[in-house]
Amino acid sequence: MSTMSNEEYNANVKAVWRVTGILAVVTIVEVVAALIYPETMPRLLLNFFFIVMSVAKAYYIISVFMHLGHERRALQLTVLLPTLFLVWAIIAFLWEGSAWLNLRSIWH
């Protein structure tokens, strides 16, 4: 809670506007990609691009806006490590969804 020096303040303000620029550009690139991506190319490639870009946006929001990048290591780990469970949840449930689709196509 210490008051920060003027220099530190200016550096922080600059960092925030830089990240604002990054987030805005990434969002614009995503929308343009969604609109101009040719239908003949594999959809998987575009989806992979969207996911990578969204994770990048999430990284900047958490690290800079929420300031987690400058917190103690212990706080960073207790916040971030539990979300690793989600990696398994995503794999398991999407797998389940595909199996369900398979059953549907057998029954119809």
Partner 1 sequence: MSTTTVNQQNEWDGGVSPMNVGYGKMMMWYFLVSDAFSFAALLITYGTIRFSHIDWPDPNEVFSAFPFMGHTHLPLMFVSFMTFTLIMSSVTMVRAVQEGHRKNQKGVALWMGLTIIGGLIFLGSQAWEWNHLIHGGMTIATPWSQLDHHTGDVVYTAPKIFGQLFFTITGFHGFHVTTGVLINIIIFIQNLRGVYEKRGHYEMIEKVGLYWHFVDLVWVFVFLCFYLL
Chain contacts with partner 1 (rule: CB under 8 A): 1, 3-4, 9, 12-13, 16-17, 20, 23-24, 27-28, 30-31, 34-35, 47, 50-51, 54, 57-58, 61-62, 64-67, 71-72, 74-75, 78-79, 82-83, 86, 89-90, 93-94, 96-98, 100-101, 104-105
CB of 79 to partner 1, least distance (A): 5
CB of 42 to partner 1, least distance (A): 14
The greatest distance separating any two alpha carbons of the chain, rounded to the nearest whole angstrom, comes to 69
Name which of 19, 17, 52, 14 is nearest 33 in CA terms: 52
* Token pair recorded at residue 30: 């995503």
* Token pair recorded at residue 85: 């469970």
Give the three-class secondary structure for 5.
Answer: coil
